[in-house]
Amino acid sequence: MTDLLETAKPMRADARRNRELILAAARELLGSEKADAQIDEVAARAGVGVGTVYRHFPDKEALLGELVRERFIRFNARLQEAIEDESAAPFDALAGALRRNAAESASDAATRRALMSGSERVFAHAEAEKEEFLRLAEVLVGRAHRAGELREDFVASDVPMVMCGVCSTMGKRDAGWEWERHLELVLRGMRPSG
Amino acid sequence: MTDLLETAKPMRADARRNRELILAAARELLGSEKADAQIDEVAARAGVGVGTVYRHFPDKEALLGELVRERFIRFNARLQEAIEDESAAPFDALAGALRRNAAESASDAATRRALMSGSERVFAHAEAEKEEFLRLAEVLVGRAHRAGELREDFVASDVPMVMCGVCSTMGKRDAGWEWERHLELVLRGMRPSG
DNA sequence: ACCTGAACACCGTTCAAGT
DNA sequence: ACCTGAACACCGTTCAAGT
């Protein structure tokens, strides 16, 4: 587990620690039950004053945006690994990365909610990482196409689209919604129609 | 377009009219741009006082819940039509209903947001309609299974699951997300793997 | 340089007065 | 019976004072 954040100017040690505590508190609180936790609660759980939360994140959406950004950094790492894995067939490399990314999303309800909020303001924080995601997806999709292993009309931007679809159905096991099956069904649909 | 609401006790004409005005205002405001419109704005657009909104809907989630409930009533009508259509092959009947329901959802951003909110409180308002949806889906899924036209592991509760997935990706054409293609891909994935 | 938390502003909700 | 909108409560955000 390496550092996710490369900040331009190094923060004072206590500030850096507070920042991490705030993000951890947000992930825990927003993840379990309390989808609508207040900033005051996040601050309390992190053991800092509200003002400190606002010093690190200009508003609530910036805080959620950082969760999304860090998630994309991890998504991209999985895609990069798939690109570097020479042993797998192109489609399997792509499918494997999607399975791993889905599994990670499944265990991070807070970020999923932030992703699903659909707020442009939240996503704006992760713009660069989103673009990088598309670049990486392009490589994997291109390879699968050249190998004839992917539906012809499937494009790189369909990768985040179908992943968004699968993530939107996570956390509803009590309704019989099994995202693993959902994902497999989508992967099956991605194969060539021949 | 018949009446969607069968209220037990008929309302006074002005109250009934206000109720419809409020729902229409909510659909318009919450649909376009303003996902976070206040109740005051909804009331203003409907031409009533805030108190009137709260007289008809105990809280904001009840208002959103009613949008969801009405949407499910329409969903169910499409499924019922598919059940009664003897001319189509079982899978095509199911697929046709899903295409029509998706198209209707696509043009109702307000309800989609309410559906996606994932709030249990919002969904509680449409419990009966959700159960009816599952009963109808069961019929169509059962027929398609018996005709050998559906993936063996596909179950009735997968219908709302995949529809939720497709709906979660609507309204993002600027990112290249085409829900029609998403739906076709999912429908393709639903076919038997043989 | 960063932290704190009381104070402020905004929006969901209530309720006393009106028709 | 139903409607109105000022008043209240809650939570996101600010900022003066502290370390």
For B49-86, how does the pLDDT look when each residue is reduced to its tens digit (9 = 90+)?
999 999 999 999 999 999 999 999 999 999 999 999 98
Q: B14 vs chain A: nearest CA distance in angstroms?
A: 36
- For residue A118, the chain B residues in CB contact (below 8 A) are 35, 113, 116, 171
Of all helices (H) and strands (E), which one includes residue B25? helix B13-31
Say yes or no for a CB contact (<8 Å) between B118 and A35: yes
pLDDT tens digits for range B137-147: 999 999 999 99
DSSP H or E stretch at residue A101: helix A90-106
Contact A112, A171 (CB under 8 A): yes
Q: How close does chain B come to A156, measured CA to CA in Å?
A: 9
For chain A, give the number of residues: 194
A67-96 per-position pLDDT tens digit = 999 999 999 999 999 999 989 999 999 999
Q: Assess contact for B79 and B140: CB atoms under 8 A.
A: yes
Give yes or no for residue B3 having a pLDDT over 50. no
Please give the Cα distance from B122 to B115 (Å, whole number): 8
For the stretch B34-58, pLDDT in tens is 778 899 999 999 999 999 999 999 9
Q: How many Å does it take to go from CA B78 to C1' D14?
A: 52
CATH code given to domain A1-58 = 1.10.10.60
CA distances from residue B161 to A58, A112, A186, B43, B82 in whole angstroms, order as listed:
36, 16, 12, 34, 19
pTM of the full predicted structure?
0.92
Q: Which residue of A has its CA nearest to B179?
A: A161
- d(C-alpha B106, C-alpha A188), whole Å: 24
Residues 6+ apart with CB under 8 A from B98: B159, B162, B163, B183, B187
CA of A46 to C1' of D15 (A): 22
Task: Give the residue extent of every domain in chain A.
Answer: 1-58, 61-194
Residue with tokens 């919450």: B30
Report how far residue A139's alpha carbon sits from residue A122's, in angstroms, rounded to the nearest whole number: 26
Are B93 and B141 spatial neighbours (Cβ–Cβ below 8 Å)? no
Strand D close to B39 by CB, under 7 A? no
**Residue in chain B nearest A190 by alpha carbon:** B185
> Which H or E element spans position B134?
helix B127-146
For A157, the closest chain B residue by CA position comes to B176
Of A154, A168, A188, the CB nearest to B116: A168
The CATH class that applies to domain B61-194 reads mainly alpha
Cα–Cα distance measured from residue A97 to residue A84, given in angstroms and rounded to the nearest whole number: 11
> Which of A151, A165, A176 is opposite residue B155, by nearest beta carbon?
A176
Rounded CA separation A129/A121 (Å): 15
Residues A162, B185: C-beta atoms closer than 8 Å: yes
Q: Cα separation of A22 and A8, whole Å? A: 20
- pLDDT the model gives residue A124: 86
- Protein-nucleic contacts, chain A 17-56 to strand D, CB < 7 Å: 36, 38-40, 50-51, 54
Distance between CA atoms of B33 and B30, rounded to whole angstroms? 7
Q: How far apart are CA A54 and CA A74, in angstroms?
A: 25
- Which residues of chain B lie closer than 8 angstroms to A189, CB-CB? 185-190
